Structures are given as structure tokens and as C-alpha cells.
Amino acid sequence: MIPVSVENRNVRAPWMTVFILVAMFAVWILVQGGGFPTDERLLATTVCNFGMVPGEITHLATLGTAVPMGPGLDCVVDNERLNYLTPLLSLFLHGSWMHILGNALFLWIFGRAIEDVMGPMRFLGFYLLCGLAASAAQIVVNPSSPIPTVGASGAISGVMGAYLLLFPRVKVHEFFFFIIFFKIFRIPAWIVLLYWFGLQVLSGLPELHASGGEPTGGVAVWAHVGGFLTGFLLVKFFERADLVARRRVAFGEYGELAG
């Protein structure tokens, strides 16, 4: 099932959420070349140079280790100072159109209400902090990994963790399809988000026991777990009481749509 919308409203326009989305797509198209066949080398180069490599940050990966990135393309472990900025830079990079579109969908669905209770600048700080915590979680699990990781999913996981705490009863519209059958289901957010979180943990368990501890299926699921828990635990420190009160006056506790 795929979430397509939520049943709550905002007092203010989510311009910081929009700004983050614009930044993500600007980097994807202008810096990474949009993943088009003519720019495959550019895509691999940006992932290699600006993606987070846990082993480069911990210095536990052997210098010169080559990770295949495509035909005739390898990403080589180095010791550049830029490596320490990659936990932040990698939050705005992606590996494919499906990757960025999926992240954009989840940020748009769950991010607007969280921004509404924090204000734009607090939301930006919260988003980046969750992303850095997600990167740290992946480093802890795979400290010697030479594989670059990219994507906003760790930060967005933090937004989802915040949503679970603040809006557990709000209905999420989930699109279900099977061959020719499709239907929209209205499911409480707490069920959707706890189910998603459980899948991340279960998917990551083999990674804890695998030799070398590389990401399962190429997905850094422990970054998702770390970001989600960070968002859940820290959201109350970032929300603004005046904005929460304004939402309650305008819409009620959860801001749910009528009907």
C-alpha cells in the first residue's frame, strides 16, 4: 500500500516543506543530472563524492577500497576533509527517480502538519537534525562500510516519527492495488507508521548479523530507524505552544477534515 494523503489541515502554508522539496529536486536535476542515461557518470560521481561513506568518517574502511558504481566506474575510499560534511550533503542527494519521488511523497504527506506546529525555521532545524541522527545510526551499525549512502529518507523518517506522536488518530489514505483491483483505505496514522517502522526493523535485523554489516538490499534501513526514533523523541522540544494552540482553536486537537 502507498500513502497518498492525510486527513488534516494546516493553519499556515508549508513553505519550508516546499523549499526543501525544491532544493531536493534542484540538486537532483542540476547537480546530479536527473539520472538520465547521458548523465549516468555524473550521477555516480556525485553519489561517490558527496554521499556518506561510514568507513571514511570512522577511518575504518581501507583507503583505496573500490566500490563498483557501474560499468567502468568505481568509488574509491579516500581521506578528504569533505567526508565530514557528507552526513549533511547526502540528505539532498538521491540515486534514482523512484528514490526521490518516493521521498518527496512522504515528506509532502507528513511534513506539512509538523511544520505547522513548529514554524518554518524550527522545522528546518528539526529536519536536518533527524537527518544527521539517521546518518549517525547508519555509521554505528556499519562503521567500516565503504559504500556511499544518499537520500532524504532518514530525515523524513524523523518527520514520520514526529507525526506518530502528534497525530496518531489522523486517517491516512492508503492506495492498495493488486493486478486490476485497487482501492483507497482510510487507516489511522499510528497503524500506518508503526507498521512501516516495524518493517524497517525487521528488514535491518539480517544486517546486524551479516559479515561486514552492509545495508540490506542496498537500503540503509537503520538510518530510517534512527531518524524515526529521533523525531519521535525530540518533536516536543521543537513544537511551539502558540502554533499548537492556534491549530486547536482552528481545527480541534488533530486538525482532522470533517466527514
Domain assignment present for residue 189? The answer is yes
Domain count, the chain: 1
Q: Please write the tens of the pLDDT for every residue from 77-101.
A: 999 999 999 999 999 999 999 999 9
Specify the pLDDT at position 169. 93
Is residue 253's pLDDT more than 90?
A: no
- Distances in Å between the Cα of 258 and the Cα atoms of 109, 112, 165, 170, 255 are 18, 18, 21, 11, 9
Domain assignment present for residue 137? The answer is yes
Q: Please write the tens of the pLDDT for every residue from 187-229.
A: 999 999 999 999 999 988 877 765 444 554 456 899 999 999 9
pTM above 0.85, yes or no: yes
Q: Please write the tens of the pLDDT for every residue from 122-179.
A: 999 999 999 999 999 999 999 999 999 999 999 999 999 999 999 999 999 998 877 7
Domain assignment present for residue 214? The answer is yes
Domain assignment present for residue 258? The answer is no
Q: Please write the tens of the pLDDT for every residue from 227-251.
A: 999 999 999 999 999 998 888 877 7
Specify the pLDDT at position 133. 97
Nearest to 161 by CA among 114, 101, 103: 114
Mean predicted confidence (pLDDT) in 5-30 = 94
Nearest to 33 by CA among 95, 83, 75: 95
Q: Please write the tens of the pLDDT for every residue from 95-118.
A: 999 999 999 999 999 999 999 999
Is residue 70's pLDDT more than 80?
A: no
Report how far residue 30's alpha carbon sits from residue 47's, in angstroms, rounded to the nearest whole number: 14
Residue 209 sits in a domain whose CATH number is: 1.20.1540.10
**Host domain of residue 219:** 2-251
Which residue is associated with the grid cell 550521477? Answer: 43
Report how far residue 139's alpha carbon sits from residue 154's, in angstroms, rounded to the nearest whole number: 13
Domain assignment present for residue 256? The answer is no
Specify the pLDDT at position 28. 95
Domain assignment present for residue 259? The answer is no
Domain assignment present for residue 201? The answer is yes
Domain assignment present for residue 138? The answer is yes
